[in-house]
Structure 1
Amino acid sequence: MPQNEGPQHEGFEDELGAILRHAGDGFAADDRRELVEGGLRRGRRRLIRRRLAMTGGALALAAVGIGGAYGGSLLPLGADAPNTSVAAPVKPTATTDPVPDQQKPGEARIPVKDIAAALKANTPAGTWEIDDLDGFGQAVGGVFDDGDGRAAVTVGLYRPGVGEAGEDQVACPDKVAIPFDDCVEEKLTGGSRLMILQGYEYPDKREETKAWRAVLLTGDGFLIDVSEYNAAAEKGAPVSRENPPFTPAQLKALVTAPDWGPLFAQLPQYVDRSGGAGGQGGGPGKGGPDGQDTPRRHVEPTGTVVQSTLRSLLPRGLKVTDKGGEGEYAYAVVDDGKGKSLVQINVQPNMSDVAGDLFGSGEVTTLPDGRRVKLTQQPGEKGGEGVVWWTADTMTPEGFRVVVSAFNAGTQHEAATRAEPALTMQQLKAIALSPKWQKLPLK
């Protein structure tokens, strides 16, 4: 999972959540389980692509992108699922309601046929099969055939807002979390930002389905997300061609086409729960009833402090061979001379609303100060042969969550390099319970 979603982005996340609920049947049962139990899960209220890609067993929302959390995708939170891809956009949905003026807050009512027309006009010659052309929405999916094999293609239009909102969608994922063949980030004229990712539907490549994705975030805060595959469906269909049909250059031409402008203008303005539309409200801490401050909800650690704190708490004798992360997430690849071991952590304030899901089962202990601790040992879920996943998950009575995981490999999607992780369960527990986490600067 980008990612400084402050209160001004709350309305966008709520609206995106509504879109995801409509697309719920696109997630397998194990995908939903990871969104709840993934070691680096960010929370129900945020489903962002890259966070999904970075979860203990999850996404790249790699993979649910805005249109779909990459291990990376659009969807923020959660941090990244064995069945999640680096380019899994939200399943296109449409309603056949013939009364477009009966629009609910945050609901797009763009004629699907108009989105399909723009898609066809800006792609090479070929035949298209597109359903629900009589409906309304903000996304469309179909099957394209240029004579070299049928290929699934999806496109979604979004309005995350202005400023930093949506920037996660145009940032390449970390290869420690998600493997890919190529990824390019580019700044365009007018303040637009573009990402083109050439990856796979499954991070472990257990199927040969390739998933290529182009995401454009315009300077005025609109986002278009296009994904294509070398099969007639994102999942469950045999590979029909060597590569998806559109080259990176053609994907760029597609997402930057002027035809999208009139459609962007039809997207509803997201509602800013902190005091106005479009992020122009009173901001965090203002605008509550009777002039009282409202709670800060999406606070998270600033800068690289989680990374440095994690390294300071690692046991002695471990050599750090790789490191990284952003905001509340950090990882370190360590080696004690017996092989590489990935260690990762998420520090998540304001998680009380999912405490029951996270600590309602399993080996849970409540400490004298009220903190709950859950220890788990399970097989890895990203496809690496022989990988095991050990986790210490903790939460204070106030909802401050620290979850630390370790693996017996340098990444989750590669084969195990050792019998067990380099850290013991007790060492993971000690890191998670360190008082240093609650002293971190938040924003």
Structure 2
Amino acid sequence: MTFETELRDRLHAGVDQTEIDLGALLDGSVAYGTRVVRRRRLFRIFAGAATVAVLGGVFAHAGSLNGPPDDGIPASTSTTALQEAITPQAALKILLETLPTAGQKGDFTGWPEGIGTQDGLSASLGYTDGGSTATVTISLLNHRFPPECVAGADLNCRIDTLANGSKLQLVENQSSGSSGNYKHLQANLYRKDGLVITLLSENREEYNPGTSPSRPPLSLAQLKAVVISPRWQRQVNPALVDGATGLFTPRPLTQPSSPAAKGSK
């Protein structure tokens, strides 16, 4: 008899009379099997979620590569539950981020547009570049009126139709009055979705009649680049609204004058 055969026989003889708790053994086997099935199921769930996240990133990247039309303006806009109405402070924050960074900026303010009922908003700042300072005001208006170049009133004015059907008006004016003589540059975008975006740059430096005013700190081309930005929307990311809250306190909405009491003279 070999050593292996003898060892096997002795092991069998030692355990032949041992009692086995089959109930405990069965319960343990079932519990182990349940854990294995649960782990496999969770693995499939997490793997599926990871796949969805990766594909979502791929599609988002593909969408960013497609980009907006040539003029930089979305053909249409949509509102989701994750967005909030733009505020004067949020409009100013976008303006700060879209203006040329070389200039100095300050004197922040803003207000809701309209009398009694809000019909848009405006935000304003002081912008200095090349020794010249202007008050720069962005306005987002919900009403639509056709752009027009007024002969005799506008020094230089042109209206172009962009690729998506929106109309862009560029105006250059000089004004004179009791407070002085000033240079005005303005870009007005009349979008197909009904939103009217205006950006006005008014030189703060007076000039003498018959002389040329100082060079505006912003050109018409720079104003155009700001108003055609796709960032101007009625609804924006809540993080933008929250992050801009501390820039200034908006002026209140203008209220209509109270009607005169009956019989008053």
The TM-score normalised by the length of structure 2 is 0.47
The TM-score normalised by the length of structure 1 is 0.29
Which of these two proteins has the greater Rg computed from alpha carbons?
A: 2
Q: Which has the higher helix share?
A: 2
